[in-house]
Amino acid sequence: MNSNQDAKNWLYISLSIVVVIAVLAYQTVFVIVPYVSTELAKKVPPSIVEFLDEMTLESLDEEGFSPSDIPKETQDRLRHLFTSLVAENAQSGRAYQLVFRAWDGIANAMALPNGTIVLTDRLIELATNDEQIAAVLLHEIAHVEENHGLEGLIKSSLLSVSLSALFGDVGAMGEILVQGAVFGTDLKYSRDAELEADAFAVNALLQGSKDPMSLEEILSSISGDADNDQMGSTWLSSHPDLPQRIEQIRQIKLAM
């Protein structure tokens, strides 16, 4: 009789521990880590941000990028456009610069932490006018202004450390679970960041008397290009939920 009661007690204790750990894990993943990441990103010294920017571009140049084939006249025109967009919309004081790279026919754009924006040749080729390029550039400027890159880097690191500490050394399965949790929350974080950057771009286009649907147009062009490319579009794969994004663009335009 006592043994049965002891077994029940241990079961209740075990279930209670599981519930407590689950609550702690949820709070850590969805509340504590995002908040801490946002605050820490604001306090990263400029020298570290500059270092991360330089090392990231250097790594990309070594691993996949090649020199751009876009004509110098086009590059100069787009740099002039970029300079005006930064002057009108950026307030962070980051060292903005626009660079061009070829990347195996992949349409992509990315923002590095200190303001380096990379445009690939294929993305430029897909754009039918400079307003579409402006829409992409404004989207990437938003990532820099909102510290999305730094926050994402810090958040992933904190999640890995926090979940490992919470669950302890539970072997290969534990590592898989931790990595899965990090990937899942990173995906949600990425989607939220993309919608925020889209809203920034659309509002900036409207304020600059440019067509806000330029962003929808270039997104659709990249999507069509990705459908015909086995490798797909890196820009769309890292900027998910295309239908949701297009719907948001239309809603913002209607609200203005």
Interval 126-156: pLDDT, tens: 999 999 999 999 999 999 999 998 888 887 7
Structure token pair of residue 55: 């090392």
pLDDT of residue 35: 73
Specify the pLDDT at position 10: 77
Mean pLDDT for 43-52 is 89
CA distance 203 to 256: 9
Residues 6+ apart with CB under 8 A from 13: none
Q: Tell me the C-alpha distance between 239 and 135, whole Å.
A: 14
H helical segments located in the chain: 2-27, 33-42, 46-63, 72-89, 121-126, 130-145, 148-167, 171-207, 213-227, 234-237, 242-255
CA distance 138 to 199: 10
What is the percentage of the chain residues whose pLDDT exceeds 70?
Answer: 71
Report how far residue 114's alpha carbon sits from residue 67's, in angstroms, rounded to the nearest whole number. 21
Helices 72-89/130-145 angle, 10° precision: 50
What is the residue range of 227's domain? 2-255
The number of distinct structural domains making up the chain is 1
pLDDT class of 42 with cuts at 50, 70, 90: confident
Mean of per-residue pLDDT scores for the chain: 81
Of residues 37 and 209, more confidence is placed in 209
Measured CA to CA, the distance from residue 222 to residue 253 in angstroms comes to 21
Tell me if the pTM is above 0.85: no
pLDDT for 151 equals 86
pLDDT of residue 224: 79
